[in-house]
Amino acid sequence: MMRLGEEESEILGIMFGDGSLRPTHSSLKIEVSGHKIDDRDYLLNHVAPLFNRAFKLDMKPYYRRRENAMVIYAYSKRVGLLLHEWGMPIGSKMRAVLLPRVQVEEVPFIRGLFDTDGCIYRKYGPYAQLQFKSSSPELMEYVRKLLARLGFRPTMVIKDETRFKFYICRQREIARFMHLIRPANIKHLRRYEAIMAR
């Protein structure tokens, strides 16, 4: 089975989180979406350069009017089909089985997914809680196993109204996660620092 490098693994994690592949008349539109304030720096200064280094792809920003969302996007049938080959569905991800069809580098893949579909927040007082959440139960079980292999002890995957999720609750493990996984989305780092400052 093919093994992705670090940058490609992170990109696949990002795509499984807030990415999409959409067919057009003659190409594939590759998009990564986020909040136009909270995620702007991450999308423009981390994700776009990552795609450029890995694929020589120039991701352009688009800000949705009357919404708090932004998207970076590019058109490329070549790159889109490659991402699809790696496991990224074309069209809606809601009913798709989200699983890599290639071997990934664990740490960057987890980073890409956490930066887009994860969160860290104050549980109470100075205690943090870290959460992964997705519409894909298969993806949550897969990532949970990756983290367990790295020595973490995440909770079991549970279902809420619309999605599947699990947590890392132990404070030492959260500190180790931040050190080992090294999230690239500044909003996560700021939230963690604010919790620790209390």
- Whole-structure pTM over 0.85, yes or no? yes
CA–CA separation, 35 vs 185, rounded Å? Answer: 12
The answer as to whether 191 is a domain residue is yes
Read off the pLDDT of each residue in 138-164 and give the average, rounded to a whole number.
Answer: 96
82/131 same-domain check = no
Domain end marker among 95, 130, 148: 95
State the residue range of the domain holding 113. Answer: 109-196
CATH of the domain at 44: 3.10.28.10
Residues 89 and 113 in one domain: no
Domain count, the chain: 2
- 47 to 2, 8, 62, 101, 145: CA distances (angstroms): 23, 11, 14, 22, 25
Last residue of a domain, one of 95, 123, 146: 95
Distance of alpha carbon 159 from alpha carbon 165, whole angstroms: 6
Q: pLDDT tens-digit profile of 45-103? A: 999 999 999 999 999 999 988 789 999 999 999 999 999 999 999 998 888 889 999 99
Percent of the chain as helix, strand, coil, to the nearest 5: 45, 25, 30
Q: Which of 50, 71, 95 is the last residue of a domain?
A: 95
User: Could you tell me the pLDDT band of residue 196, with boundaries at 50, 70 and 90?
Assistant: confident
Whether 1 is in a domain gets the answer: no
